[in-house]
Amino acid sequence: MAIRNPRKRAVYIAGALLAAALLTVFAGRERLAENPFDRGRVFADPSHAVTAGNLLLVTDGGKTRVTVLSGHKVSAAITGAKETGGFFYAEHTAAHGGKIYIADVKYEEGSTRVETERILRFSAGGRFETVLFERPYEEEKPFQHGNILDLRSHDGRLTFLMARDGALELYSLVNSLAGETPALLRSVSAENAPYLYGAVYDAFGDTLYAVSKDGVIYAEDAAGGLAALDGLGRAGWIPREAAPDGSGSLYITDLASQSIVRADGSVFFEGDGIIFRLDTDETGLVSFTDGQSVYQVSAGGETRFAGDSAEYTAEYFLRRLLVWLLAAASAAAVLFLLGRLGLRVLKGGVGQSKYLFIIIISVTLTSVIVAASIFSASIQTEAQEKEFSITQMTLAVSGISGMTIGDDFASLNAPEDYGGPAYHRVRAALDPICETAYEQGGYLYYVLHKVVDGVVYSVLDYEDTVGVMYPIAEISEGWSDVFEGRAPYLFESFSDVNGSWTYAAAPVFSSEGAIAGLVEMGYNLDTAALRTQRQIRDIALSTAVLLVMFILVFSEVSAILEPLSALRRLSGKGRYVPELIRPLIFLAFLADSACTAFIPQLSGRIFSDSGLGWSLSMGAALPLSAKLFFVAIAAVAGGVLIDRLGMNLSLVCGTVTEIAGLFLTAAAVTMNHYALLIAGLSLSGAGLGVVVVAGNTLPAAYEEERRKSALFSGVNIGMVAGIVAGTSAGAYAAQAGGYALTFLLSAAALLPALWLAFKSAPRSFGLSLSAQMEALEEKEMGLARFLRDKSVFSFLLFMMSPFMVILYFREFAFPLYASEQGVSEVGIGQALLFSGAAGIFIAPALSAALLKRLGGKRTNLLAGGLCAAGLILFALRPSFQSAAAAVFMMSAAACFGYVAQGVYFSSIRAVKAFGTGKSMGIYSLLDNLSQTAGPLLFGAALALGYRLAAWVIGLVSAALFLLFALLGRGARGGNA
């Protein structure tokens, strides 16, 4: 077990340290965007601040980051504008119990129309944990801020307010666990408050407050509605947000005076900037920002914190410095290794396969650079076209303004003008411009502004997110140019508390020719940046997929060249080369696996249209289980078919049957016929089963151990390579041409297998097994005694069967779950491709090393434990990332688990006594029956939900593996 060679030991230790360093750098990669020597962080356009016990949460720019301050020092940061692992737009934040919660608004690509609203949970250290609540929008999508109006923690529970169907609905998340259904506490009618801007729940007084765009403040009344509060504030004010505290005080932001006032009109805080948002807690502490600095002020007026920056905690500073140092060390180590490899290449110490690998890497890097350059050029062209379009549309609005909207626009001067006739006439004239742009994929918005005493006021906008005369900022240089030059001005990039934008501004004229204000028209840059990130990621992933596919195909092409050459050297009608069985098996599994990434979703869709009364998860599972059942039946009947027809005709029959099944499945998809789908998959499964039996029988016919081992190895590699390549290729084909075309292409891929069937084996030949030995073995042990043997039944029932079942999380549950998370067939195929390819590349060395060091029993237990751990990991934190990690763990376990199972079972004493041939027949039968049960068991368990299903199957499998550990004996009957 010990590594005696000091040089090898040093290499292993260095490799382990480099791997650990790379993992640490990957986990803290966001810190690499920061200066490692900065002692503090400057807030960038802070939009709001929230107090949560000792924590102060500051949101920068809506989409940039949420900075976590502990004791007024930066202790963590949550990066925004992400699809997974972070937030897109942190509209509301809260914290309790050491957890941070963010109400996230995710936009439709390219626009500010809300596609999904979510509530995300993070650790106090800023690590993403799970999605607590999610509401997608198919129709009537809100703009910008969405319908979640408030999020806060009180008395150990999380509450949020949502606007819905003319009412304010108050929900509670008591446990704050993934999958928890929010409890509706009450619904308050908002019919008397038609222009609501926002609302807040007073957890201390159990009351709802709301502020409308026309400057009215409402409170929940006893009749279950909202009633306007009179006598609040002062004349000329513009209330934006209200927040109650534990003492019964009500604080209100006044945009007109840039201050916070109490309900009696007294000034609580007067600032130098516009205060849009504020937060209060039970101690009376008020937190807010004016867009530059962040403040915490007590109810008595004492300032606890004020500033535009905060220092880092010592732990944060050291952790970031460590990430930088490890990144530098890792980069140096990688460069050193590449240099050593280059020297070996120059000295001729690297084989042909290594040269090929270096060529592949070079081609890949070149293709990425070229693709990135083309992509960058296309993005620039697209941006220039959009800027030109924006300028042209702004000019058009400006040109017609005097005739259509100028006078109505000039009459809008106070919050109470919101919703009046003039307001609606202006919107009716301008909204069609943006609506047309949305229909054409332009996603433009407009805002009309006025300037009074050097302050810019928003009057109305397409997205209906402001009221009349809401101040937003002091006039900037570009806007002054619009007024002075009476001409448009293009703002290429602009950032504020609401995010980043590009827009043009142009004057709006009255009917007399005077400038009444200006129009701003543009589009959102945040979604454009996200689209750019996604496209770059897709380029990288597609390149990696092509690389892996190239390696797999090159490997299979290389494997067939020598057998073809040998075939050409032979003469006579009966010429054949058994090594050609590998490409035949590769094609059979390539065709069979092309539907792996989408067959559960496809089955579920067709089942839902069938009108049958079963559960959807069982309906999605049945076609796949039917196919696997017929694979098992064919595996039992395949031996008889080989005896009757011979080897090559059996391979032909199996291939033709699989082709027929694929054609029938394509017809079922076209006709949307559930029973026909089951029949087609069953038929293709039967054909595959015959091919597999014949493919495994062919190597067994040879007495020479070396050739037998090589043929078995070729069959196994061809099978795994076919599964991996087929899964990815099928996913791309399905996305490009549809499901039916994918099945037809799979059938076409099998046509060369018909020729290979005749050239890989003769019609018949004698098997090398001795009939006398088989007869002797039959007398030695009967079937009942064989199945009662502790080593046999403990392995078959407690190890192999649960192992095969649990793997159908990868084949069945994962595609369903990923699809529900919005992942495309291509994304699912990529995840399965990379995990499967990793298994192919590490399987030979890993299997041999583990079997040598651990033995058959412990290697089986390691494989089973890895699968159960992956499923339990997903159950602990259900997400696409944890599901993909579980798939990778299962693929790694399968790569050595399959080998370990065969080695362990074939070495049991009872197997020798009963007969190897018959024992392996029982082994194959239970193997296939377990695979048949896998989708059905997962389909039944999914009625409980993905999380509970993973818990149940993961824990039951772990318990069965433990029974095998207790009852199973060593490979030859001794203890392992």
What is the pLDDT at residue 84? 59
Nearest residue to 251 (alpha-carbon basis) of 194, 193, 202, 192: 202
Cβ distance 633 to 925 under 8 Å?
Answer: no
To the nearest whole number, what is the mean pLDDT of the chain? 78
Q: Give the mean pLDDT of 872-901.
A: 81
Q: Give the mean pLDDT of 443-461.
A: 85
Mean pLDDT is highest, among 400-414, 629-643, 957-971, for 957-971
Residue 122 has pLDDT above 80, yes or no: yes
- In sequence order, what are the residues at sequence separation of 6 or more whose Cβ sits closer than 8 angstroms to the Cβ of residue 524? 107, 110, 111, 112, 443, 445, 499, 500, 501
- In sequence order, what are the residues at sequence separation of 6 or more whose Cβ sits closer than 8 angstroms to the Cβ of residue 493? 500, 501, 502, 525
**What percent of the chain is modeled with pLDDT above 70?**
77
Q: Give the mean pLDDT of 440-467.
A: 84
Cβ distance 783 to 793 under 8 Å?
Answer: no
Enumerate the H helices of 701-750 as residue ranges: 705-737, 739-749
Please tell me the distance from the alpha carbon of residue 631 to that of residue 933, in angstroms, as a whole number: 13
What is the pLDDT at residue 198? 86
Please tell me the distance from the alpha carbon of residue 309 to that of residue 77, in angstroms, as a whole number: 14
Please tell me the distance from the alpha carbon of residue 70 to that of residue 74, in angstroms, as a whole number: 6
Cβ distance 240 to 221 under 8 Å?
Answer: no
Angle at which helix 739-749 crosses helix 705-737, to 10 degrees, equals 150
Please tell me the distance from the alpha carbon of residue 584 to that of residue 752, in angstroms, as a whole number: 8
Provide the 8-state DSSP code for 313.
P
Q: Give the mean pLDDT of 576-596.
A: 84
Residue 490 pairs in a beta bridge with: 504
Taking the CA atoms of residue 945, residue 951, residue 954 and residue 959 in that order, the dihedral angle to the nearest 10 degrees is -140
Look at 374 and 620; give whichever has higher pLDDT.
620
What is the pLDDT at residue 973? 39
Q: Give the mean pLDDT of 820-830.
A: 71
What is the pLDDT at residue 744? 92
Residue 642 has pLDDT above 60, yes or no: yes
Measured in residues, the chain has a length of: 976
Provide the 8-state DSSP code for 609.
T
CA 773, 776, 778, 780 torsion: positive or negative? negative
Mean pLDDT is highest, among 56-65, 601-610, 745-754, 788-797, for 745-754
Residue 186 has pLDDT above 80, yes or no: yes
Residue 911 has pLDDT above 70, yes or no: yes
What is the pLDDT at residue 976? 41
Residue 663 has pLDDT above 90, yes or no: yes
Q: Give the mean pLDDT of 748-766.
A: 77
Instruction: With H, G, I as helix, E, B as strand and everything else as coil, classify residue 43.
Output: coil
Q: Where does the pLDDT of residue 945 fall: very low under 50, low under 70, confident under 90, or very high at 90 and above? A: confident
Cβ distance 255 to 471 under 8 Å?
Answer: yes
Q: Where does the pLDDT of residue 840 fall: very low under 50, low under 70, confident under 90, or very high at 90 and above? A: low
Residue 390 has pLDDT above 70, yes or no: no
What is the pLDDT at residue 2? 46
Residue 946 has pLDDT above 50, yes or no: yes
Q: Which amino acid is at 895?
A: C
DSSP 192-220: T-TTEEEEEEETTTTEEEEEETTS-EEEE
Q: Give the mean pLDDT of 203-219.
A: 87
- Lowest-pLDDT range of 16-30, 234-248, 361-375, 490-504: 361-375
Please count the other Cβ atoms lying within 10 Å of the Cβ belonging to residue 155: 9
* H or E element in which residue 56 lies: strand 55-60
| pLDDT tens-digit readout, 262-290 | 888 888 888 888 888 898 887 888 999 88
Mean pLDDT is highest, among 340-354, 378-392, 588-602, for 588-602
Residue 374 has pLDDT above 80, yes or no: no
Integer CA distances (angstroms), 879 to 178, 810, 873, 875, 942, in order: 10, 14, 10, 9, 16
Q: Give the mean pLDDT of 653-666.
A: 91
CA 186, 187, 190, 191 torsion: positive or negative? negative
- In sequence order, what are the residues at sequence separation of 6 or more whose Cβ sits closer than 8 angstroms to the Cβ of residue 894? 807, 839, 863
Cβ distance 253 to 200 under 8 Å?
Answer: no
Instruction: With H, G, I as helix, E, B as strand and everything else as coil, classify residue 120.
Output: strand
Q: Which amino acid is at 878?
A: P
Residue 486 has pLDDT above 70, yes or no: yes
Here the tokens at position 913 are: 């006594």
What is the pLDDT at residue 925? 73
What is the pLDDT at residue 80? 78
| pLDDT tens-digit readout, 138-154 | 878 888 788 899 998 87
- Per-residue three-class SS string for 445-486: EEEEEEEECCEEEEEEECCCCCCCCEEEEECCHHHHHHHHHC
Distance between start and end Cα atoms, the chain: 16
What is the pLDDT at residue 255? 86
Q: Where does the pLDDT of residue 709 fall: very low under 50, low under 70, confident under 90, or very high at 90 and above? A: low
| pLDDT tens-digit readout, 64-103 | 788 888 888 988 888 876 655 678 888 888 888 788 898 8
Cβ distance 345 to 40 under 8 Å?
Answer: no
- In sequence order, what are the residues at sequence separation of 6 or more whose Cβ sits closer than 8 angstroms to the Cβ of residue 512? none
- Sequence-separated contacts (24+) of 643-646 with Cβ below 8 Å: 646/762, 646/763, 646/764
Q: Give the mean pLDDT of 292-309.
A: 88
Q: Where does the pLDDT of residue 4 fall: very low under 50, low under 70, confident under 90, or very high at 90 and above? A: low
Residue 760 has pLDDT above 80, yes or no: no
Q: What is the pTM of this model?
A: 0.66
- In sequence order, what are the residues at sequence separation of 6 or more whose Cβ sits closer than 8 angstroms to the Cβ of residue 744? 662, 663, 666
Q: Where does the pLDDT of residue 384 fall: very low under 50, low under 70, confident under 90, or very high at 90 and above? A: low
What is the pLDDT at residue 841? 61
- Lowest-pLDDT range of 32-46, 760-774, 843-857: 760-774
What is the pLDDT at residue 818? 80
Q: Where does the pLDDT of residue 202 fall: very low under 50, low under 70, confident under 90, or very high at 90 and above? A: confident
Residue 664 has pLDDT above 90, yes or no: yes
Here the tokens at position 309 are: 């920056």
